[in-house]
Structure 1
Amino acid sequence: MSDSPKPQLGQIVKITRGRDNNKYAVIIGVLDSRFLLIADGDKRKFDQPKKKNILHLQLQDAISMEVVDSLKETGRVTNGKLRFAINKFADSQQTEAQEKGD
């Protein structure tokens, strides 16, 4: 892992500041080196993404290829796909935690 990993479209992030603290979201846009657009498909829909400072996010190693493919093909992604990507990631985190605990 490099010192400053570059955020990528479709990447899962954990929000570390603000109202949505400790929630997960998906990067649906990179505005510049400091700001990203994130959405979770639930409270934050694709059409109303949250502009977030990268310092307030924890980039996760997971990138949802479904979201990336959809953004590349149509420039959009459904809120259902965003929710699915986050739930899939959350499930994999839980599974890892359980395996470590066994």
Structure 2
Amino acid sequence: MPNGTITPGQIVRSTAGRDAGHAYVVLGWNKPQTLLVADGRGRKVASPKKKNVKHVTRHSIAANLAEILAGGTNPTDENIRQALAQIEVTGYA
């Protein structure tokens, strides 16, 4: 992770592009300034979206997803949808 500010398992919201306002979970880094993100619906774990770090805002960390990603495995699309739904309900993202 290049700058140490965004970690795998963190919830981010897109601020630019056609998907502005959309929430994603960070799966990892592609290049020093590019994140791999998924939402479990349109962008699944099998084909994550590449998103520039400058085009997202950070939100809370989904602890269960961070543990799964730290273990070296990918979460399921259902895990991602549940984490995003929980964040939307609490109003943090």
- TM-score tier, shorter chain, comes to 0.7 to 0.9
For these two proteins, the number of residue pairs brought into alignment is: 90
1:73 deviates by 2.8
1:31 deviates by 2.6
- RMSD over equivalenced CA pairs, Å: 1.6
- Structure with the larger helix share: 1
SS in 1 for 2:71: helix
* TM-score (normalised: structure 2): 0.87
Percent identity for Structure 1 against Structure 2: 31
Which structure has more RCO (C-alpha within 8 Å, separation ≥ 6)?
2
SS in 1 for 2:7: coil
SS in 2 for 1:31: strand
The answer (yes or no) to whether the contact 1:7–1:30 under 8 Å persists in 2 is no
* Structure 2: stretches of 5+ with no match in the other structure: none
Instruction: Out of 47-56 and 69-78, give the one that drifted further.
Output: 69-78
User: In terms of Rg, which structure is larger?
Assistant: 1
* Structure 1: stretches of 5+ with no match in the other structure: 95-102
Instruction: Out of 24-33 and 81-90, give the one that drifted further.
Output: 24-33
